[in-house]
Amino acid sequence: MAVAMSSTCPGLYCGRVLVNGSVEGECGVCPRGERANLQKFCERCTGSPDLYDWLYLGFMAMLPLVMHWFFIEWYSGKKSSSALLQHITAMLECSVSAVVTLLVTEPVGMLNIRSCKVQMLSDWYTMLYNPSPDYVNTLHCTQEAVYPLYTIVLIYYAFCLVLMMLLRPLLVKKIACGLGKSDRFKSIYAALYFFPILTVLQAVGGGLLYYAFPYIVLVLSLVTLAVYMSASEIQTFKHLVAKKKHLIILFSHWLLHAYGIISISRLDELKQDLPLLALVPGPALFYIATAKFTEPSRILSEGGNGH
């Protein structure tokens, strides 16, 4: 009771509810969509996500789409003509899920959302900061201090899963005639595995991903581009432009490079940050320029001649 009657609430996230300008109730958890201010009163979040917040949400939204595309390509086989249609369907599922998620988030029926500003890493893990003023009783103030960045991703994944289960099986059954019965649905089965993994990743590591995703995008896009160009034996510009698929994958990776650079710089100073986008083609050009010097067959033959 001493805690309830104190002038200020203990802990980082405990607060008192304000009703018509007057304080009501004891110190405790703030209602959803509110967080404790410096005076320890629960204050409604009325701000909008900044550019970095939208980039984070975009990254989390891209993860299932990229996973869908990977497994569709992996299981469709070279002779299957259904892969492209499945890719388009996966993009449609994720796009519709994203729009519906925004529409059901406050303010309902609008594509913009209101949010609480992320101030520090602990905002993502309020359950670890429940105070114990008398070292015996714990005051539970667990809440979504980063509203709605934590739960909106989970809602989006739920919509993605539901739409996939409604649309994809019917599509695959009609168009994937070139595949065996056991192979047709493997990309869907894969999604039933990676969606729970992505959900746990967001639930446990959402805060870490919020601060690390620009570097994850940049590093993974560089590594996957190098692996693809090596596996496809692309060593010259002639090899690169020989197939449309090579160019599509190259431009997709360039978009990811740019996404990572923008996320890191946050475009705080346009005059300084925009020229950094000129670095986007750099890794691909460097790979092509140096590929002939690192070809294993050449190194082995030179080693043999040396002996």
Distances in Å between the Cα of 75 and the Cα atoms of 50, 68, 164, 172, 275 are 38, 11, 17, 12, 40
For the segment 189-213, the average pLDDT, to the nearest whole number, is 94
Distances in Å between the Cα of 153 and the Cα atoms of 63, 102, 199, 275 are 11, 10, 8, 32
DSSP letter for each residue of 11-55: TTT-EEEEETTEEEEEEEPPPTTEEE-TTSBEEE--B---HHHHH
- In the predicted model, is pLDDT for residue 295 greater than 80? no
Exposure of 242 in the CB half-sphere (CA atoms within 13 A): 10
Contact 97, 167 (CB under 8 A): no
- Residue 1: what pLDDT? 38
Which candidate, 194, 280, 255, places its Cα nearest to that of 55? 255
- Residue 288: what pLDDT? 86
Q: Name the pTM for this structure.
A: 0.86
Contacting residues for 29 by C-beta, under 8 A, at least 6 apart: 13, 14, 140, 141, 142, 143
For the segment 174-184, the average pLDDT, to the nearest whole number, is 62
Q: Which residues pair with 24 in a beta bridge?
A: 17
Residue with structure tokens 């869907």? Answer: 188
Which has more confidence, 243 or 161? 161
Which has more confidence, 126 or 24? 126
Which has more confidence, 287 or 160? 160
Measured in whole angstroms, how far is the alpha carbon of residue 224 from the centre of its chain? 17
Distances in Å between the Cα of 56 and the Cα atoms of 49, 53, 89, 196 are 10, 5, 24, 19
306: pLDDT confidence band, cut at 50, 70 and 90? low
From the DSSP assignment, how many helices (H) and strands (E) are in the chain? 11, 4
The tokens of 216 are what?
Answer: 């994850």
- Residue 179: what pLDDT? 55
- In the predicted model, is pLDDT for residue 6 greater than 50? no
- In the predicted model, is pLDDT for residue 5 greater than 50? no
For the segment 166-193, the average pLDDT, to the nearest whole number, is 77
CA dist., res. 151 & res. 149, Å (int): 6
- Residue 139: what pLDDT? 87
- Residue 217: what pLDDT? 94
CA dist., res. 2 & res. 10, Å (int): 11
DSSP letter for each residue of 132-178: -TTSSS-------TTTTTTHHHHHHHHHHHHHHHHHHHHHHHHH-TT
CA dist., res. 268 & res. 28, Å (int): 37
17: pLDDT confidence band, cut at 50, 70 and 90? confident
State pLDDT tens for residues 114-137. Answer: 999 999 999 999 999 998 888 888
- Residue 7: what pLDDT? 63
Which candidate, 48, 98, 62, places its Cα nearest to that of 259? 62
Contacting residues for 63 by C-beta, under 8 A, at least 6 apart: 198
State pLDDT tens for residues 86-111. Answer: 888 899 999 999 999 999 998 888 88
- Residue 182: what pLDDT? 57
State pLDDT tens for residues 39-84. Answer: 888 888 888 999 999 999 999 999 999 999 888 888 876 655 677 8
Q: What is the dihedral of CA 78, 79, 81, 86, to 10 degrees?
A: -40
Q: Residue 94: left if φ>0, alpha if ψ -120 to 50, beta else—which one?
A: alpha
Which has more confidence, 167 or 8? 167
- Residue 246: what pLDDT? 81
